[in-house]
Structure 1
Amino acid sequence: MTPQDLEQLIHTVLVQAAQAQEIALAAADIPTEIVVERPRNKEHGDWATNIAMRLAKPAGTNPRALAEVISQRLKAETGIKAVEVAGPGFINITLDAASAGELARTILTAGSEYGKNQSQAGKHVNLEFVSANPTGPIHLGGARWAAVGDTLARLLEASGAKVTREYYFNDHGAQIDRFARSLYARAKGEDAPEDGYGGQYIEDIASQVIADAKAAKEADPLTLPEAEATEVFRARGVELMFAEIKRKLAQFQVEFDVYFHEDHLHNNGAVAEAINRLRERGVIYEAEGATWLRSTEFGDDKDRVIIKSDGDAAYFAGDIAYYLNKRERGADQVVIMLGADHHGYIGRMYAMCAAFGDQPGDNLELLIGQLVNLMKDGQPLRMSKRAGTIVTLDDLVEAVGVDAARYALVRSSIDQGIDIDLDLLTSHSNDNPVYYVQYAHARTCNVSRNAAEHGVVKEAGFTPAALDHPADTQLLGALAQFPAMVAQAAQLREPHRVARYLENLAAAYHTWYAQCRVTPRANEEVEAGHVARLWLNDAVKQVLANGLQMLGVTAPERM
């Protein structure tokens, strides 16, 4: 019996109690969403629900009295071993071994589909993440968003949502001009401008621009007038840098559905169209020769300039046009992941959303991630893009590999800054979380191979009642929580819950492995318990693989 089966069963007995007039509620008033959770104390049973406490007031009774009615009906149901009313009205439920053990069959039947749900069905989410400026390699902050964003997209899809992964290509503005001047300067053998970019990658790209021109039998950019030369380095340099960014993201198992160019907004009239929409809503005014959004009406700390007095669009104008563009492309929810230095954007962006008549926090959601520090030998590695000492996604992957890098970047809440210990992530020890989880999966594979060699095969039949050891119960309970965890991680935008769940499941599996046998001892016959525990072992293997897949991390069969 899965938690979802138990929730449905509780709903059924409540409806039956209402129809029998044992409770003062109409059957139609019984909620369809009933939550069961694992008790913190395993002595309190397998599952617990607070439904009696939720319904007591509308039923005109006290929670314990209602809990007793529910308890008596549940006790008569097949698969229920014991039911106890505790405290102010909690209902603790213990399943019989056969009912609990059936979960292993459910998991193996579902395979890679186990854990998927429909909690986000019907939603179209436009998820924008990374969006690093094409003026340098992806730094650690961008790497964190790459891992977190891709995992969140996988979780949303596993929960039934349609997801568009989007990368906002900032190819408009002053930073691109500084990038072009930096390339031009390095090509001439000069230092980068004071406000420009440094580092070996600048010299590499500048050299490539010249080499490409030569290969195409075009004029050497250095022989052109400065303005023309700078434009060549801008156009070709941005193209080369962005191609490198896309290549590195693909190696990091991150692909995007849409690469949206900022220039597109300014060149096709999208900014003017967005301003006209807002003007029609009466939230645009002119003052001091500029065009303003009356954003204070929607909670911002001040009104915002959209078109400056010199006629140029303010940066915020692009944000407005881009949001409208996403909504018009069909997104119900626009989710944007931003770095720690973007806290000041929240007020104006949510005000803009409300100005369009949308709901901030629903139609538009901003996620702010905190900083990442890379540690080696107990000391932080510093980064500075302009100084040329940047610590990049490449540096992290080269040091620990894609699996460990993705796992380390995802396993902490985005609200927390993280220190990534390179020494820990390259160690083969239980203190290394990704090794701990991957080793658990490899161990399940090894158990399956050994079982086959000893004649223990699933085809011999499954006897779920044989899973009667306390360690079996604990492991089944951990497996049962996977679908609800996936749905919650998607809803709360908290991918780190997947990693933490997998670590807890790995711990439960390693404990079970030490206490329960899949293969018979010498001179023992293969019994139903051995086969049943092979089913359970393989169910753990499946859930570990499903969870690691959501993290974009491989599930090795040998380590």
Structure 2
Amino acid sequence: MEMKDVLKQGIEAAVEKALADGKLPAGTYPEVVLEVPPQKEFGDFSTNIAMQSARVAKMNPRAIADTLIANMDYPWLDKAEVAGAGFINFFVKSDMVYDSLKAALLAGENYGNAPLREEDTVQVEYVSANPTGPLHVGHGRGAAYGSALVNLLRAAGYNVSSEYYINDAGKQIDNLAKSVNARYLELLDMKFEFPENGYHGQDIVETAQSIINWRGDFFAVIPETDRLPFFREFALTEKLNALRVTLRKFNVEFDKWFSERQIHRDGELKEAVQFLKDTGDVYEKDGALWLASTRYGDDKDRVVIRENGEPTYLAADIAYHRNKYERGYKKMINVWGADHHGYVARVKAAMQAFGYNPDNLEVLLLQMVALYRDGEMVKMSKRTGQAITLDELMEEVGVDAARYFFLMRSLDSQLDFDINLAASKSNDNPVYYIQYAHARIHSIFNQAKEAGISYGDWEHTSYDSLTADIELELIKKLAAYPEEIAQSALHRAPHRIARYLYDLASMFHSFYKQGRIMGVEPELQQARLGLITVIANVLKHGLGVLGISAPEKM
């Protein structure tokens, strides 16, 4: 059992004892929540249970805290102190610390993973960029965040399914076909008119050229009405395949690719709109059909079917999200760009109109990314003169650095991405610094192997020779890792793992400088080899959560 769980049970037992002795009044007390304090002088763990219980007990929080401490007499607890308005800070004895190290070693590379809870189903939909061109840097942040969140939730025991919603119906796909058509005619030196809302990227020119390379001017003599459907499917297939390749290169895989066309083809869109008409939540005005979203907190009602009978994007999204609810997930998480802020209320309004709980749909909004090179903001690619693509960024700084830099800030803060720093192979680069710690540990393993030193019998290794402050701090840091995974998942915060890994790597580098691992007395050597084994396991596990490699050589 982890140190935190033992302490939590101890506090719960203290509450029960205080209730039985009449030191606390009867009532339903809140669940005990433990946090790791930001500074070691506040102890190994801290809880606000006394403050949370004040309303139930009708007592001063500090008095509750004193009562709980008086009822906690455990051999593994060094001391407990009341702080501030009623926090309780716990300091555990070294024996407990050593037990946590042993437990982590016995868990091996699985340390940090919670058991799978089949019933805790979560669907995470992210990226879902229109398949009309290459992914840019903004999509890259969403891809890194979404995939890391999926990994994090899985590590925390949630039953997760990831999904990409393909917007392969509607005007954007028609405009894609018209754009390819215009470039196709242009490349053949024929008369053309570029569509008003067309796509101007170099990739459209390349798509048109690939059609010419394949069939020359074959399509030029075909009526445009016959040519466009082919160009639509050709371009859509090409763009979607390119998206898949880029995402795979970026360590992003989806369990499901959901086509918008399915919503239209299966009649789900019409059925959804008709359902809302029948309930009175969709009404007709000026020849169009409107969702009465103001009934559910939106600032105004929204068009779902235009006067010409064409559905809006909202209509398809309503049907798609209804489909999600019908699939029965406990929680659905959408990762959208900040520009979709106004869209959240109307989709939730529609779900409420269907009778679903809108709180089951959680929308996370990513803020913008600003790229910097040599201290100057970079807006355009030198190669194409257009927005920098994710492929170009990966080519310049590498997949690992790109992912770490996207993930090292919380999603609700603007991200300034320093290309020079991300591309550097120095300890100033945080991902390099973390990976170097992992590689350095493996070089020590290789030294032990070359010296013929046997280790790994963690059940019978003695750890009480680890008495230096840095060693005890490292063990406590490692003991906090499973809780860090749980809290990071709960708060949808992969950046916490990025920060944790950096702090752990920094502590390891300090430890490495302070004391030898090889060439000390055998008992201490075994204990230190055990300590760095857990550090390596946690670094690898955490980097894996972030979708970043853990090299053994650098």
Whichever residue aligns with residue 150 of structure 2, its letter is A
**Residues in 2 aligned to 1:272 and 1:334: alpha-carbon distance in whole angstroms:** 23
**Residues in 1 aligned to 2:546 and 2:88: alpha-carbon distance in whole angstroms:** 35
531, 544, 549: which one aligns with 1:549: 544
**Residues in 2 aligned to 1:267 and 1:384: alpha-carbon distance in whole angstroms:** 39
Match of 2:149 in 1: 152
Deviation at 1:193, TM superposition (A): 4.1
Match of 1:520 in 2: 519
CA 287–551 in structure 1, closer or farther in 2 if over 3 Å, else same: same
**Residues in 2 aligned to 1:172 and 1:434: alpha-carbon distance in whole angstroms:** 40
Contact 1:79 1:96 in 2 (8 A): yes
Which range moved further: 133-142 or 100-109?
100-109
352, 368, 392: which one aligns with 2:389: 392
Matches within 5 A, 1:216-255: 220-255=218-253
CA 209–123 in structure 1, closer or farther in 2 if over 3 Å, else same: farther
**Residues in 1 aligned to 2:531 and 2:246: alpha-carbon distance in whole angstroms:** 39
CA 532–72 in structure 1, closer or farther in 2 if over 3 Å, else same: farther
Contact 1:285 1:291 in 2 (8 A): yes
Deviation at 1:95, TM superposition (A): 1.7
**Residues in 1 aligned to 2:62 and 2:512: alpha-carbon distance in whole angstroms:** 40
Q: TM-score, normalised by structure 2?
A: 0.92
Matches within 5 A, 1:253-332: 253-332=251-330
- Structure 1 stretches lacking a partner, 5+ long: none
3-state SS of paired residue (1:466) = coil
**1:183 pairs with 2:180:** yes
**Residues in 2 aligned to 1:337 and 1:314: alpha-carbon distance in whole angstroms:** 21
**Residues in 2 aligned to 1:21 and 1:464: alpha-carbon distance in whole angstroms:** 41
CA 90–316 in structure 1, closer or farther in 2 if over 3 Å, else same: closer
Which range moved further: 94-103 or 187-196?
187-196
3-state SS of paired residue (1:458) = coil
Contact 1:131 1:170 in 2 (8 A): yes
Whichever residue aligns with residue 279 of structure 1, its letter is K
3-state SS of paired residue (1:135) = coil
Contact 1:403 1:554 in 2 (8 A): yes
**Residues in 1 aligned to 2:139 and 2:75: alpha-carbon distance in whole angstroms:** 52
Contact 1:121 1:159 in 2 (8 A): no
Deviation at 1:164, TM superposition (A): 2.0
Match of 1:102 in 2: 99
Contact 1:478 1:508 in 2 (8 A): no
**1:538 pairs with 2:533:** yes
Deviations 1:98-136 (A, max 9, x none): 211222221122223322236976232221111111111
Deviation at 1:384, TM superposition (A): 8.9
CA 267–88 in structure 1, closer or farther in 2 if over 3 Å, else same: closer
Match of 1:430 in 2: 427
**Residues in 1 aligned to 2:218 and 2:105: alpha-carbon distance in whole angstroms:** 63
CA 92–281 in structure 1, closer or farther in 2 if over 3 Å, else same: same
Deviations 1:248-291 (A, max 9, x none): 11111111122122222222211111112223433122222222
**1:196 pairs with 2:195:** no
**Residues in 2 aligned to 1:154 and 1:335: alpha-carbon distance in whole angstroms:** 14
Deviations 1:496-535 (A, max 9, x none): 11111111111222222222432235xxx32x22221211
Contact 2:47 2:87 in 1 (8 A): yes
**Residues in 1 aligned to 2:381 and 2:450: alpha-carbon distance in whole angstroms:** 56
User: Quick one: percent identity of the two aligned structures?
Assistant: 42
**Residues in 2 aligned to 1:259 and 1:80: alpha-carbon distance in whole angstroms:** 51
Matches within 5 A, 1:464-475: 464-475=463-474
CA 119–67 in structure 1, closer or farther in 2 if over 3 Å, else same: farther
CA 124–90 in structure 1, closer or farther in 2 if over 3 Å, else same: closer
Which range moved further: 40-49 or 429-438?
40-49
Deviation at 1:415, TM superposition (A): 1.3
Match of 1:505 in 2: 504
**Residues in 1 aligned to 2:407 and 2:365: alpha-carbon distance in whole angstroms:** 14
**1:406 pairs with 2:407:** no
3-state SS of paired residue (1:39) = coil
CA 132–43 in structure 1, closer or farther in 2 if over 3 Å, else same: closer
Contact 2:176 2:199 in 1 (8 A): yes
Which range moved further: 151-160 or 85-94?
85-94
**Residues in 2 aligned to 1:519 and 1:480: alpha-carbon distance in whole angstroms:** 24
Deviation at 1:78, TM superposition (A): 2.3
Whichever residue aligns with residue 501 of structure 2, its letter is L
CA 238–87 in structure 1, closer or farther in 2 if over 3 Å, else same: closer
Deviation at 1:245, TM superposition (A): 0.8
**Residues in 2 aligned to 1:34 and 1:178: alpha-carbon distance in whole angstroms:** 56
- Structure 2 stretches lacking a partner, 5+ long: none
Match of 1:125 in 2: 122
**Residues in 2 aligned to 1:80 and 1:298: alpha-carbon distance in whole angstroms:** 52
**Residues in 2 aligned to 1:341 and 1:311: alpha-carbon distance in whole angstroms:** 27
Whichever residue aligns with residue 211 of structure 2, its letter is V
Q: How many residues align?
A: 545
Contact 2:180 2:205 in 1 (8 A): yes
Deviation at 1:22, TM superposition (A): 4.1
Contact 1:81 1:95 in 2 (8 A): yes
Deviation at 1:299, TM superposition (A): 0.8
Contact 2:29 2:56 in 1 (8 A): no
Which range moved further: 342-351 or 276-285?
276-285
Whichever residue aligns with residue 10 of structure 1, its letter is I
Contact 2:247 2:253 in 1 (8 A): yes
Whichever residue aligns with residue 93 of structure 1, its letter is F
365, 369, 388: which one aligns with 1:372: 369
**Residues in 1 aligned to 2:447 and 2:292: alpha-carbon distance in whole angstroms:** 70
CA 453–384 in structure 1, closer or farther in 2 if over 3 Å, else same: closer
Contact 1:126 1:166 in 2 (8 A): yes
RMSD over aligned Cα, in angstroms?
A: 2.4
3-state SS of paired residue (1:464) = coil
Deviations 1:222-267 (A, max 9, x none): 2312222222211111111111111111111111122122222222
Contact 1:197 1:388 in 2 (8 A): no
Contact 1:181 1:196 in 2 (8 A): yes
Match of 2:490 in 1: 491
Deviations 1:340-385 (A, max 9, x none): 322221221222222222333x221222111222222222222499
Deviation at 1:451, TM superposition (A): 3.7
**Residues in 2 aligned to 1:488 and 1:119: alpha-carbon distance in whole angstroms:** 16
CA 348–89 in structure 1, closer or farther in 2 if over 3 Å, else same: closer
Contact 1:112 1:542 in 2 (8 A): yes
Contact 1:7 1:34 in 2 (8 A): yes
CA 350–420 in structure 1, closer or farther in 2 if over 3 Å, else same: same
Contact 2:180 2:235 in 1 (8 A): yes
CA 424–306 in structure 1, closer or farther in 2 if over 3 Å, else same: same
Deviation at 1:149, TM superposition (A): 0.5
**Residues in 2 aligned to 1:15 and 1:257: alpha-carbon distance in whole angstroms:** 45
CA 352–210 in structure 1, closer or farther in 2 if over 3 Å, else same: same
